[in-house]
Amino acid sequence: MKKILLSAVLAAATLTASAASATQAWVGSSALNARSGPGTNYHVLGTFKPCTPVHVVAHSHGWAKVAYNHGYYWVSAKYLSNQSCHYAPAPKKTHKKPVYKKPHSGYGY
């Protein structure tokens, strides 16, 4: 009984410590691929929009494991910021249709 109780206390302490070690970070000023593992050879699961807040839970060779919306993803750590930012997408450019004008023959017909 003591072993089970001690194991439960140690497990709870470990979970609390790992949750407390998660740090807040933000995706930089451009979109960032969210991958299934720490490297470009892993599948892209989605893309984070610029300035998205995430929680960093682990690091591995320049990659960060982040928690976001009840899931875990790997991103390149060099594109994360420790400061919040505000992203406003650039306004969409509208293209006007060219107006077709009849060529002028120059003879006045």
Domains of the chain by start residue, with CATH: 22-88 (2.30.30.40)
What the block records as the tokens of 88 is 């406003």
pLDDT digits (tens, 9 = 90+) for 93-102: 777 777 666 6
Query: Is residue 72's pLDDT more than 90?
Result: yes
Residue 106 Ramachandran class (φ > 0 left, ψ -120 to 50 alpha, else beta): left
> pTM (2 decimals)?
0.61
Q: How far apart are CA 17 and CA 28, in angstroms?
A: 27
pLDDT attached to residue 89: 64
pLDDT band with cut points at 50, 70 and 90 for residue 3: very low
pLDDT digits (tens, 9 = 90+) for 12-42: 443 334 445 679 999 998 999 999 999 999 9
